[in-house]
Structure 1
């Protein structure tokens, strides 16, 4: 789930670590705070936030999301937060930490939300926020941001976008029309999480939280008896749940955004488009082969399994295929989901179903898809075919 840090990120991170700057306040990292502000500005502009906003880096997406949820509870005084079953598994846990009432929005086996249910639920006027994911880490789905933004015009609630994984894909030029519409709607959200240490070519420990309204910081503002005396620059730590924060992470991120500007049609955008293209290539292979069940990718993640339908044997075949590919030094991940989320078969509703999950994290993967497809085809024509034939014989 993490790209290899860029050469410039590695070099500048190591250089900055010699001084170990602390971006809590100017006393700990005057230069690195300036770099953090510059890098945050570039990320905010990517979502078309160019004037008033507040943002800072955190040590990870979980902390960024925790802060956003905590701000929501404090500002709205409403404890109900709505999420989908495909939200990151940590969102519900974070909600419980701050006393939020987490509710799940019903969705079909393709991950589409029940918008009629949601509209009825919002009429109760007790929802503090809806969390939408721009790139779920399981199926790689971009959730219905544009539709929820429309509901936001009618009802009083906040919208938080968890774009920790997929946020940078707003720069890609080969998204579907629906995904483009959802990414464009992010600009109307109240807060955004994005992790440069995932697709932004940064060392681990670099996440970003953005707030559209700088006034939201009123609930985070605190003082310290021994810092914040140097007023030569903004003391970002004064407006965070975290206090001490890595200045080296800010230096590496700033250097990377200088070399790889966050703009459409730029070099970094091309890398993202290549990742997405690899996913489209693999999907094309599945669409012309009736031996697979697969989910159409919104970004660079493809989830599939051997077989025409999801059955009780799907997990077995998925595990077999993963081991077969591993024997050829091809690593793919596994994804286990509740049966009711991916199958309409009542008999599978309470089952745990394991699928294959392929995540294309490098532009070079675009050239590797053919090799992957050949290996999958070899498995299907040997191990899968033999076992499947035995099953048919037994029947």
Structure 2
């Protein structure tokens, strides 16, 4: 009889332990500043449950050498506390590439050792950096950012109230693994983030739109980039990058098709022979060059062209210089303005009457953009953005692998 009670007590204690380890969450958000305009939340407990389940379902992962990935950064022994909801934010009027999060330090000596192990260099008092991140220590907290330009501009936390509600994770997310929220003076738009076996999907709540057929059609094509957007989508996307170009040129519709290829670039230099005669030297190098076809529909093409000319985006050879890849040619036909690369023609996609951006991964990108030359970007198969009515979807599709994304 006593053994039965002991078993029940042990079972109860294990159940309580599992509950607090994997399910109990502190939903309070202590670090989101009042001047944030985009907030990303990650449900750490749910991510942990998903990781453990995936790990148990893939026995081959159990015996994998833990020292195999030397670039992996573990925070289990970093000396910081990770909240149940990781809070990542972007500040108003800053570059879209600047993101920050705040963590509490529970052991400063251990944290400093962690920074040293991961090649962080102290560039100023309590300010550290490596190739990717900046970290500033302020008392018992540390601010982690992709830039150090706005550490001092991070405002005071929102604390208790937000839009007349108690501030918590429920203000920004429901049942997803995470969320991304766009905050304006009038409202907050929340989008759920779900991590699947080989894709990350971001969509607004109660979204029932299925873009599978459109994605399948686009994936069959060879182009690197396909896009079709109406004026509302152009305005929203340009506003993310702090541009108001759509208001200035009254674009009603945009269609883009683009591809990339490797070409020989001729380099001409001059030197002198033994008799000091000038000689021409011709060498060649491989460069990555895009070919593109861009069609802009507008109700006022003269206004658009004048805007381009005032910005000095059209030169004397009728080339559109805002696109750095030359040569190209800009032309006008009634209510349309066309910008085409002239080295190689690219056919525009058929008019689908949908709003989308489809970017297909291409190995040639890695040699042109150093930031893309890492395993994360190389594993991406495509990126898709789609909009219909009030529903928005972003999919980042990864290449098939023996392990799901959370275990890679």
- Taking structure 1 as the reference length, the TM-score comes to 0.27
Structure (1 or 2) with the greater strand fraction: 2
Structure exhibiting the larger radius of gyration computed from Cα positions: 2
Higher helix share: 1
Higher RCO structure (Cα 8 Å, ≥6 apart): 1
